[in-house]
A and B are shown apart, each in its own frame.
Chain A
């Protein structure tokens, strides 16, 4: 499995934008970039995914570097409910994936 690297933790003020980085320098051409988050005492939930182009959905935006070796999950206005561990994962679809340690996001009121 291609590996991803994320900061262990980040802080953000409430109502401010948050940029969560992920490095994946060994990404292959068929790997999709997926982001999941795990709220306290819950299973991980899907946030967003992309291949080459930037993606937007109701939860977040995903910015993918031109060389695809890094990506950034963008939460446009952090709320207290966004406090979670965010995982960046590479997936080829229907393949087992490896979860890294993720980034623990703390949102400060």
Chain B
């Protein structure tokens, strides 16, 4: 299995500021993703973090608002820029891990709970 940690676990921020969320995996993984989960909602994919190249964003999400870095196979950051109260959500890092036996399993971090005032 893959163990994922995220920092910070939660934060309260003022509108107009930016927050960078870190995701650390205990194993090298190929695929890393960032999700957002708004209160009471399901998960929405923000982007795929590509190692060594620009992230691939889903419809409705742009690089200027959610810049992503992926410097190596175990680490990624997501920045929420120029925050507004609508950005208050849980942000989750996720990876695909190749299990013994060949199956790919998706693992999730514990999430970062962001409240923007």
Contact = CB atoms under 8 A, between A and B. Distances in A.
Interface in A50-98: 87, 91, 93-94, 96-98
A94 B31 contact: yes
B105 to A, nearest CB: 5
B48 A100 contact: no
A22 to B, nearest CB: 14
Interface in B83-117: 92, 94, 96, 103-111
Contact of A42 (B96, B105, B110): B110
Nearest to A87: B42
Given A42-B111, A43-B92, A43-B111, A97 B42 contact: no
A29 B105 CA distance: 18
Majority secondary structure, A binding face: loop
A22 B109 CA distance: 25
A72 B93 CA distance: 27
B33 interface: yes
A94 B30 CA distance: 8
A94 B105 contact: no
Interface residues of A, number: 20
Contacts of B48: 96
B43 interface: yes
Contacts of B110: 42-43
A44 B96 contact: no
B73 interface: no
Contacts of A15: none
B103 A49 contact: yes
Interface of A: 32, 34, 36, 42-46, 49, 87, 91, 93-94, 96-102
26 contacts: A32-B103, A36-B108, A42-B111, A43-B4, A43-B92, A43-B108, A43-B109, A43-B111, A44-B43, A44-B92, A44-B108, A45-B108, A46-B105, A46-B106, A49-B105, A91-B104, A93-B96, A93-B104, A94-B31, A94-B104, A96-B33, A96-B48, A97-B45, A97-B106, A98-B45, A99-B42
